[in-house]
Structure 1
Amino acid sequence: MKRARTGRGLPMIRYAARRSVLSALVAFGVVVLTYLIARVVPSDPAGVWAGPRASAVERARVRAELGLDRPVAEQIVSYVTGVSRGDWGLSVLTHRPVLSDLLTRLPNTLQLVLGGMVIGLAVGIPAGLFAARWHGGTVDRLVRSGALLSAAIPTFWLALLLQTLIASRLDLLPIAGSYDRAVMVAHPVTTVTGLPLLDAVLTGNGAAATDLFDHLLLPALVVASYPAAVLARMVRASILDAVGEPHIQMVRALGFPERVVLGRFALRLAWNPVLQLTALIFGYSLVNTFLVEAVFDYPGLGRYAADAVKSLDVPAVVGVTLLVALLYLAANLAVDLAQAALDPRVALR
C-alpha cells in the first residue's frame, strides 16, 4: 500500500514542480514585457516625482536617484532582482513603496472578486444543472437566454442600471463606497485575514459585517454576471456530454433517479472543464473589477491603477500588472493541481 501511494505521489510532485516553474517563467516574461512597454510610452517620471516647478537640475538628480538614467536592460535586471527581494520600487505618485501600496488596496479587490465568484458559482452551477435536467424545455430556454443576456450586457451599463434602480430609486443598498465611515468608527474591524468582511464575521462584529456586506453586494452582483452566465452554459454542455458515457447510461438503466444521475454521476465528469473555466473566469473578473470599482467608487487596485496610468507612474503600473499576473497564475496553478488530484491521468501528461 505504501509503495502504491508513493508511486501515485511522485507524478503529482513532478507535475506540480513543472507547473510551478512554468508559472515563474510566465511571471518573469510579464514583468519584462510590461516594463519595456511602460518605458516606451513618452513620459517623465522624474518630473512627476519632483513636481511641476522643479528645475532641470532637480529633475536630473531625481532621475539619477530613481535609476532612470541607466540603460533599460540594466533597469530591468535591477527591477527583477528587487522584486525577488520584495522591493517593487517606489511609486512616483505616492512616494511610497509600490508593494506596500498594492497590499493596502488588494484586500478590497480580492473581497470583491471572491464575492462575485461565489455568487457566480452559486447561480451558474445550479442553473446549468436545471438546464441539463430539462434539456430542450422551457427551463433550458430560459437559462440559455438569461446566460446570453448576462454575458452580453456591458459591465458599466449593468453597474449604472443597478445603481439607478436598487440604490437610488429603491434605496435598498448603498450607491457607492466600501463602508460607512460612522459605522467603522463606532465598530472598528479587527484584522485577522485582511479581508474586511470576513474579519468582521470572524470577530463577531455584526454591525460592521452588515455594513460591509451592504456595500459589497451591488458591485459583487455586477462582477458575478459574466461568471454565472459562462458557468451555466459550461455546466449544461458538460453534463449533456457526460450523460452519453456508457457508465452513465448504465447507472440510468439501473433505475437511479434522474437528479441522482445528473447531480452525482454526470456532474463528477463535468468538474474538470468547470474547474479549468473557473481559473479563466477568475482572471477575467480580477481585471473586470477595475471598471466596477471605478463606477462604484470602490477603493481597490482599480483606482490605484487608474491613478498610476494617468500620472505615468511606471513602477506602479508594472507593479499592478505583476500582481494581477501572479494572482492569475496562482489561481491557474491551484486549478491545475485540483484537476490532477481529481483525475490522476492529468499528472501523467
Structure 2
Amino acid sequence: MLRYAARRAALSALVAVGVVVLTYLIARVVPSDPAGVWAGPRASAAERARVRAQLGLDRPVAEQILTYVTGIWRGDWGLSVGTHRPVLTDLLTLLPNTLQMVLAGLVIGLAVGIPAGVAAVRWYGKAPDRLVRYGALLSASIPTFWLALLLQLLFAGRLGLLPIAGSHDRGVLAAHPVTTVTGLPLVDAVLTGNGAAAADLFDHLLLPALVVASYPAAVVARMVRASLLDAAGEPHIQMVRSLGFPERAVLGRFALRLAWNPVLQLLALIFGYSLVNTFLVEAVFDYPGLGRYAADAVQSLDTPAVVGVTLLVALLYLAANLAVDLAQAALDPRITLR
C-alpha cells in the first residue's frame, strides 16, 4: 500500500505541474495588465515598468512558468496582485472556512442520501421511492445560486432564524475568541468548549452547508438506490431473506455493504464538485473563503492568485482520490492496489 501511495503521489506531482502550466498559459492569453492593477490606475509608465520587473512579468512566459513551478516546492506561490500578500498565505488563511463548508455539506449529504436510498429500495415502486427519485432529480438540478437566495429569503428574511450572510458575528468572536486546534473554526470552538462561538459559527455555516449538500445528497441517494437494487439479486442476499431476516436488516446489514464501493468512488468526485461549487455559494452568502478569493482574483486579473487557487483545488482533489482508493482497499479485501 505504501508503494502504491508513493507512486500515486509522484503521478499527482506531474498532474499538478501540468495544471500550473495550463492555467498559467490560459491566464496569459487573457488581455490583462497585472502591473497596472498592482500599481494603481494613476501610476506612471515608469512605475508600471518597475512593477513589471518586480513581478517578473518582463521575462519570457516560459521562464516565468519555470520560475513559478520551481518556487512552488519552496513554498513561494507568488504575490497576489490584489492583496499584495503571498498567495500561499492568503490560501492557507481562507482554506479552513471553505473546507469547513464543504465537509459540512458532505456530511449532510451522506446523512440524507444514504437513508433516502435505503428507504427507496425498502418501498420500491411505492410513494417513498417516487419521492426519493423526484426529490433527488430536483435537488441535483436546482441552480446553486437560486437555492442560496431562496434559503436566505426564507430563513433569514421571512423567519429571521439564521443570519443572512457572513461567517461569524464579530462581536461574538471578539468576546469569545476561538483557540486554534484543527484550523476549522467550528470544530475548534466545539473541542475547546466555546459554546457561544460554536453556536454563532454554526448559525452562519448552516445555510451555506445546506446549499452545498443539495447535490451530494441527490447523487448519493440515487447511487445507493441503484447499488442496493443490484445487490438485492445476489445469492447470499436471497439466502439471508430465506433465513427469515427482516427486510430492514437485509438492506441495512447485508446489502448496504455491497453498496459502499460505488458510493466511495463517488466521494472524491463529489468533493471536487462541492469545492468548486463554493465559488457561487460564498459569493451569495458573502462567506470568506477560497471561492470568494478566486472570484475577486478573476475580476482583478490576478494571475498568481488564480493559478494558486487552481493548483490548491487540484491538489485537494488528487488527495481525495488517493484517500478514496486507500479506503476502498481497506474496506473491501477483494480490491488489490497495484
Aligned to 1:33: 22
How many angstroms does 1:21 deviate by?
Answer: 2.2
Q: Which amino acid aligns with 2:47?
A: E
Aligned to 2:126: 137
How many angstroms does 1:151 deviate by?
Answer: 0.9
Looking at structure 1, the residues matched to 148 and 299 of structure 2 have their Cα atoms a distance apart, in angstroms, of: 23
TM-score by length of 1: 0.94
1:212 is the counterpart of 2:201: yes
How many angstroms does 1:20 deviate by?
Answer: 2.1
Aligned counterpart in structure 2 of residue 340 of structure 1, from 302, 322, 329: 329
Aligned to 2:161: 172
Aligned to 1:24: 13
- What does the per-residue CA deviation read over 1:34-80, in whole Å, with 9 as the maximum and x for residues that have no partner? 01111111111111111212222221121111111111111111101
Aligned to 2:33: 44
- Assess if the C-alpha contact under 8 Å between 1:15 and 1:347 holds in 2: no
Q: Which amino acid aligns with 2:156?
A: A
Aligned to 1:289: 278
Aligned to 2:46: 57
Aligned to 1:159: 148
Aligned counterpart in structure 2 of residue 317 of structure 1, from 292, 300, 306: 306
Aligned to 2:287: 298
Structure 1 unaligned residues grouped into runs of 5+: 1-11
Q: Which amino acid aligns with 1:308?
A: A
Alignment of structure 1 residues 252-271 onto 2, 5 Å? 252-271=241-260
- Give the paired residue count: 338
Alignment of structure 1 residues 121-136 onto 2, 5 Å? 121-136=110-125
Looking at structure 2, the residues matched to 25 and 155 of structure 1 have their Cα atoms a distance apart, in angstroms, of: 33
Aligned to 1:94: 83
Aligned counterpart in structure 2 of residue 326 of structure 1, from 312, 315, 318: 315
Classify the secondary structure of the residue corresponding to 1:328. helix
- What does the per-residue CA deviation read over 1:292-347, in whole Å, with 9 as the maximum and x for residues that have no partner? 11111111111111111111110000001111111111111100111122234433
- What does the per-residue CA deviation read over 1:4-25, in whole Å, with 9 as the maximum and x for residues that have no partner? xxxxxxxx23332332222222
Looking at structure 2, the residues matched to 348 and 302 of structure 1 have their Cα atoms a distance apart, in angstroms, of: 34
Looking at structure 1, the residues matched to 60 and 75 of structure 2 have their Cα atoms a distance apart, in angstroms, of: 22
- What does the per-residue CA deviation read over 1:235-290, in whole Å, with 9 as the maximum and x for residues that have no partner? 00001111111222222222222112111111111111100111111100000011
- Assess if the C-alpha contact under 8 Å between 1:301 and 1:320 holds in 2: yes
Aligned to 2:182: 193
Classify the secondary structure of the residue corresponding to 2:125. coil
Aligned counterpart in structure 1 of residue 94 of structure 2, from 89, 105, 127: 105
- Assess if the C-alpha contact under 8 Å between 1:117 and 1:282 holds in 2: yes
1:68 is the counterpart of 2:57: yes
Aligned to 1:146: 135
1:243 is the counterpart of 2:232: yes
1:82 is the counterpart of 2:74: no
**How has the CA–CA distance of structure 1 residues 348 and 294 changed in structure 2, closer, same or farther, with 3 Å as cutoff?**
closer
Once the two structures are overlaid, the 10-residue window that deviates more, 241-250 or 291-300, is: 241-250
Looking at structure 1, the residues matched to 244 and 334 of structure 2 have their Cα atoms a distance apart, in angstroms, of: 30
- Assess if the C-alpha contact under 8 Å between 1:107 and 1:195 holds in 2: yes
How many angstroms does 1:176 deviate by?
Answer: 0.7
Q: Which amino acid aligns with 1:155?
A: T
TM-score by length of 2: 0.97
Classify the secondary structure of the residue corresponding to 2:336. helix
Q: Which amino acid aligns with 2:298?
A: V
- What does the per-residue CA deviation read over 1:206-249, in whole Å, with 9 as the maximum and x for residues that have no partner? 00000100111011111101100110000000011111112222
Looking at structure 2, the residues matched to 43 and 207 of structure 1 have their Cα atoms a distance apart, in angstroms, of: 46
Q: Which amino acid aligns with 2:137?
A: L
**How has the CA–CA distance of structure 1 residues 324 and 195 changed in structure 2, closer, same or farther, with 3 Å as cutoff?**
same
Q: Which amino acid aligns with 2:131?
A: L
Aligned to 1:5: none
1:222 is the counterpart of 2:211: yes
Once the two structures are overlaid, the 10-residue window that deviates more, 43-52 or 111-120, is: 43-52
Looking at structure 1, the residues matched to 127 and 26 of structure 2 have their Cα atoms a distance apart, in angstroms, of: 50
Aligned to 2:264: 275
Note the aligned Cα RMSD (angstroms). 1.1
Q: Percent of counterpart pairs with the same letter?
A: 87
1:119 is the counterpart of 2:108: yes
Classify the secondary structure of the residue corresponding to 2:168. coil
Structure 2 unaligned residues grouped into runs of 5+: none
Classify the secondary structure of the residue corresponding to 2:328. helix
